Structure 1
C-alpha cells in the first residue's frame, strides 16, 4: 500500500481520516518491518512476514498513539489489546529480533490533529496503563522520596523482586540465581553455569575456610550458601523481604546457620567491618551512577587491609550515553535503574582509593543465561500465569527476550571487576599472576 509518508498532501484536506494502519505508519520512522493489522480491517508491512502484530480494540491504538515507542507498544501488548502472532509470550525473542529496526517518531502537530480526527478526540484522552506499570520518575519523588534514598530504593526493589518466590523458582530454576551465569562452553546447563559463576567469584576473591565474606545485594543467597558450604562465614544483605525469607529458610535446611546469614537490610545498614572479601553481584545497577563514590567508599570501609572485592554488574558498551534506562525498563522492570560503561565504574573505584587487579566482560554469557530463563518461562507458562497473572508473565517474557537481544547486539555488557584494598605499604598480598581458573 502507499505509505502515509508518501501522501503528506492528505493533511491539506480538512476532512481526511486515516485507517489505524496508516496511523501506525505515521508513528513509525521508516518502513514497518513486520505485518501489522488492526480491528478496522486495515493492514501494513510485508504480507509474507513470519510475524504479525494486531491491534484488537481502540484502547490498543490509544496506548501506541499517546506513547509512541517501546512504552506504548508494551502497554498494548501487556494489557492484551495487541496480539503478537508467531511467538510464545514467554519468549518473544524472534519477533523482537525481526522488529529490530523499528523506530518510532513523535507526530507533528498537523499529523496529531489528523490522527485525533480519524480516531475521535475522546480516543486520545489519557487512559490508565496496565497495573504492572509503576508511576513515572517525576511522581516517585512525591510518593517515595528522592532517587536512591533508602525508602525509594526499597520500593524499587520491592516492585521487581517481591513478585513471587514461586514464580522465580519456575523461571530461574533450582539455583534461584538471578544474575549472569558463566559458561565454559555452550553445552553447559544453566545450573552448571550458575555454579561455575559462584566458583569463579569464590576463587577470584581467594576465599578459604575461616574467612569472612560480605555479599551485598545477595538475592536468594546463592553466593552466601556457596561460600558457607566451603567454610566461609558470610553475611548477605537484600532489600527484598521475600528473598531474605527464602534464603534464611534455605540456609537452615542446608545446615549452614552457624556460618551464613541473609538479612532483610539495606547494604548501607551493615555495621560489621574488617571483612576478608566483599562480593556485589547484580547490585550496582540499582545504586545510581552519582552514588558510585559513596558506594565504593562503603566497600572500602568494610574490607580489611589486603581484602579483595568483586563487582559484577551490567554496563553500557560506552561511557557517553544517558545512564537512565528506557521507559519500558524503568516503568515495568527496574524503576530507577541506571547503567554506565565499565570505564566509569573502574574510574570511580580507583578514585575511591581501591586498586583494580582484573576486569573481564561476560557479555555473551548473559545472552545465553537469558535464553535459558525464557525457556523456563515457556516450559512453566501455565503455572507462571496462575501464580502472577498473564500480564506480569508477559512483562517478563518481553523483558528477558529484549535483554537477550541487547547483550547479543552489544547494547549492554556484563563486567566483573576485581580489586583490593591496599595497606599503607601499597603492596599486593596476592600472587603475581591470576590465581583462578577462568
Structure 2
C-alpha cells in the first residue's frame, strides 16, 4: 500500500486490490461504484450489497466469508454460469495471491470501509450450525448427530438429484473406461469394477454401507444375481431406492433400508461395499468401523472401501469451513496410508489400493454440466441459494481433484479365514 493511499479513504475495490501480492487477473467491482483489475477480464466479482461486504469482512475464514456472500447473492460472479463456475474458480485459484498487510494497513482498510462491517450478519439459511452449536445435537458422530448431518446434505430433493446426477442417481466417483465415455457409462463401469473386485457371484450376499439411492445394490442384484442389502441414513434416498428396486422387479434380491449401519443385525455376508461412507464416520471411528465390517463378513469375505482421501498426512483431516457448514457437516478425510493402516489393524489383509482421483474431476464436470443445463428447474426445486451452493462446491471440488489436493482411493481387502486362507487367486481377475 502506497503512502498516498494510506492518507485517504479507500474504496471497496481499492481495499481488496491493496491486499494482492500480484496484479489481479480478474475484475472486482462494488456497490460504491469502484472497480479494480483489468476492465476486459473474462470474469468479474461484484460486491453487490453492504451485507456482502459484512460477510467478507466479518468472517475469520476467507473461504467461508466469500461462500456466504456468494450463496446469498450478495457477491455476484459474471462471465460464467452459476451452475458451473469452474473456469472462474481456476483463474481465482491460480492468479489471486493475498499478502499479509501490516497492522497499520489493516487498520486503515477497516476504517476506510467502516468498522460496522466487522459485525457478522445472520448466515444464509442453507448454512449448517457451527461446530459448537452442533454439540447440542449430540456428540460428534453419535447416531443423532450423524443422522442430522446426512439429512442436511442428502435430504434436499430427490428431483434435484435426478437433474444433477442423471439417471444413475449415483453420487460417488464414476470410472471412465475411455475418453469418450458418458457419465452414465462411467457410473455403470464403476459399479461393475467394484463388483469384479469383490468377485461377486450369483447366490452370494452383499452388504452395501451408505448405499445412497441403491445403485450398487441394484447392479449387484441385476447383473450378478446377488442378494444385496443397502443401508442409508437418508430417508428420501431409501424411499426412492425401494421404489426403483420394485420398478425394476428386483425386490426378490435387493433391499434398501433407512438405517444407521451400526444397527444392522444380519451377518455372514460374502462381501461388503462401502462407497462414499468413510468420509462421514470420523477418523477416530475407523477402528470400530472396520472392526464392525470384519464382524459382518464370512471368512474369506471381501471389503471394497471407496472414499475421498487427503493427498498427504500433513493436511488437516477436517474440511474447510465452507464445506463443513454448507456441504458435509462433520465430514473428515484422511490420507490413504492412514486408511490402509486402519483396515490392516482391524484384522483384514489388504490386496489392492487404487487411486482414481482424475475420474472424480471428470465426474464433477458432468454433474456441473447437468446443473447448468437444468438450472431453472433446479432453482425451482431447491431455491437459488441452495443451487449456488452446489455449483460452487462441485466446481471447487473438481479443481481440487485436478490439482491433487484431494484424491479418491479404492482399498480392497479380505477377512482372513482359517489357517491364513483369503480366497484370492494367484493374480487379480478384475
- When the two chains are superposed, the root-mean-square deviation of aligned CA atoms in Å is 1.6
* 1:424 to partner: Cα distance: 2.7
Q: Does the CA-based 8 Å contact 2:209-2:275 persist in structure 1?
A: yes
Summarize the Cα distance change of 1:61–1:358 in structure 2 as closer, same or farther, 3 Å threshold: same
Q: Does the CA-based 8 Å contact 2:57-2:117 persist in structure 1?
A: no
1:377 maps to which of 349, 371, 374: 371
* 1:377 to partner: Cα distance: 0.5
Matches of 2:3 and 2:357, distance apart in 1: 44
* 1:435 to partner: Cα distance: 0.8
* 1:114 to partner: Cα distance: 2.8
Task: Give the match for residue 197 of structure 1.
Answer: 190
Render the CA deviation track for 1:75-119: whole Å, top value 9, x for unaligned: 111111111111000000000000013355676654454334223
SS at match of 1:425: helix
For the pair 1:21 / 2:13, whether they are aligned, the reply is yes
Alignment of 1:6-405 (within 5 A): 7=2, 11=6, 13=7, 16-28=8-20, 30-67=22-59, 69-101=62-94, 102-104=96-98, 109-141=103-135, 143-229=136-222, 230-405=224-399
Runs of 4+ with >6 A deviation: none
SS at match of 1:400: helix
* 1:121 to partner: Cα distance: 3.0
Render the CA deviation track for 1:285-327: whole Å, top value 9, x for unaligned: 1111111111111111100000001000010111221101011
Matches of 1:168 and 1:117, distance apart in 2: 45
Matches of 1:34 and 1:181, distance apart in 2: 33
Which runs of 5 or more structure 2 residues have no equivalent in the other structure? none
Summarize the Cα distance change of 1:344–1:92 in structure 2 as closer, same or farther, 3 Å threshold: same
Q: Does the CA-based 8 Å contact 1:27-1:65 persist in structure 2?
A: no
1:409 maps to which of 396, 403, 409: 403
Render the CA deviation track for 1:259-288: whole Å, top value 9, x for unaligned: 111110111110111100000000011111
After TM superposition, the structure 1 stretch with the greater mean CA deviation from structure 2, 56-65 or 374-383, is 56-65
SS at match of 2:368: helix
After TM superposition, the structure 1 stretch with the greater mean CA deviation from structure 2, 247-256 or 24-33, is 24-33
Matches of 1:103 and 1:158, distance apart in 2: 36
Matches of 1:247 and 1:153, distance apart in 2: 20
Render the CA deviation track for 1:220-243: whole Å, top value 9, x for unaligned: 000001111131111100000000
Q: Does the CA-based 8 Å contact 2:58-2:117 persist in structure 1?
A: no
Q: Does the CA-based 8 Å contact 1:274-1:303 persist in structure 2?
A: yes
Which runs of 5 or more structure 1 residues have no equivalent in the other structure? none
* 1:45 to partner: Cα distance: 2.1
Q: Does the CA-based 8 Å contact 2:84-2:395 persist in structure 1?
A: yes
Matches of 1:200 and 1:389, distance apart in 2: 36
Matches of 1:414 and 1:305, distance apart in 2: 27
Matches of 1:115 and 1:301, distance apart in 2: 59
* 1:60 to partner: Cα distance: 1.2
SS at match of 2:29: strand
Matches of 1:224 and 1:105, distance apart in 2: 50
TM-score (norm 1): 0.94
